[in-house]
Structure 1
Amino acid sequence: MQKRIRRRSQLKQRVWQIFGVPRAKSNSSNKEKPAVTEIQVNLRLEDKLALIDLKGDVTSLAEKKIVSAYERALTQKLRDLILNFSEVGYINSAGMSIIITLLSRSQQQNVALKAFGLSPHFQKIFEMVGLLKYIPHFENEVEARASCANPA
């Protein structure tokens, strides 16, 4: 357990090195901030498998919806959980932190966390952070499903 916590902390530190430490936004700035696309989260449950489809931007604003879908998925006796990133346009450091949290919780629950649909840019970031060591990435949903454990 302590090893998992330490590894999670190391992953978060790596994210912060790449993206910068998350900071509170200042309202005093007149600079135009980039528009954030609100996340849409869809949970698909099947026998011992859950798919979470993400559409929009994975930021701190998405945390509640993503974690809620994840917790609903865990009410089933899952073996595999697949995250669909094919319609995600942006992931910031807070978004990476959410993914690391899902990874940590999945490991505690003995659920294999997998992903598909990452753009080449985000594949590179996942690799730099070290997430691809723990979250296998597939090109599409068919490949991700094929990698899942067969129901007993």
Structure 2
Amino acid sequence: MAETVERAIVRRRDGITVIDMPSNIDIRSEAALDTAYSEVSPKGAILLNFSGTEYINSSGIALIVGLLARARKQSRPVGAYGLSDHYREIFEVTRLADFMGLYGDEQAAIAGKR
């Protein structure tokens, strides 16, 4: 039985692009994340919303690193919010947090990226 891969949803809030990340981020998420990144506005900060994310494996981390690299190449700041304590710790240990601000919620993230 084939599994359904969720989309990543792109939306704008207060002039900032927010990508609502899928609940599971793994190799099957690659097309969804590529599509989402292609839909972001051409300028400004990008926020990654992990509020609905339950699972990220090493392939998912690699996909997130790829998004960060694309944004960095375009000189776009990236932030993240909604990470569980477990994934927040992983982002800190792997030093992903060095390349994006980590925030508790959307309001704090938007305030931090203005």
Common topology (TM > 0.5):
yes
1:29-87 deviation digits (Å, cap 9, x = unpaired): xxxxxxx77333111035642100023100000110011111111xx332100000011
Q: Deviating runs (4+, > 2 A) in structure 1?
A: 36-40, 45-48
1:92-124 deviation digits (Å, cap 9, x = unpaired): 011000000011111110110110000000011
Determine helix, strand or coil for the equivalent of 1:40: coil
Determine helix, strand or coil for the equivalent of 2:5: coil
> Which runs of 5 or more structure 1 residues have no equivalent in the other structure?
1-35
Aligned with residue 72 of structure 2, among 93, 107, 112: 107
Tell me the distance in 1 between the aligned counterparts of 2:24 and 2:100: 19
Is contact 1:38-1:56 (8 Å) kept?
A: no
TM-score norm. by structure 1 comes to 0.69
Question: How many matched pairs?
Answer: 112
Aligned with residue 16 of structure 2, among 40, 45, 49: 49
Is contact 1:39-1:58 (8 Å) kept?
A: no
Is contact 1:126-1:132 (8 Å) kept?
A: yes
TM-score norm. by structure 2 comes to 0.90
- 1:72 match: 39
- 2:96 match: 131
Does residue 121 (structure 1) correspond to residue 68 (structure 2)? The answer is no
Determine helix, strand or coil for the equivalent of 1:83: strand
Tell me the distance in 2 between the aligned counterparts of 1:139 and 1:92: 21
Tell me how large the CA RMSD over aligned residues is.
1.6
> Which runs of 5 or more structure 2 residues have no equivalent in the other structure?
none
Q: State, as a whole percentage, how many aligned pairs show the same letter.
A: 30
1:8-34 deviation digits (Å, cap 9, x = unpaired): xxxxxxxxxxxxxxxxxxxxxxxxxxx
Q: Which moved more, 1:92-101 or 1:50-59?
A: 50-59
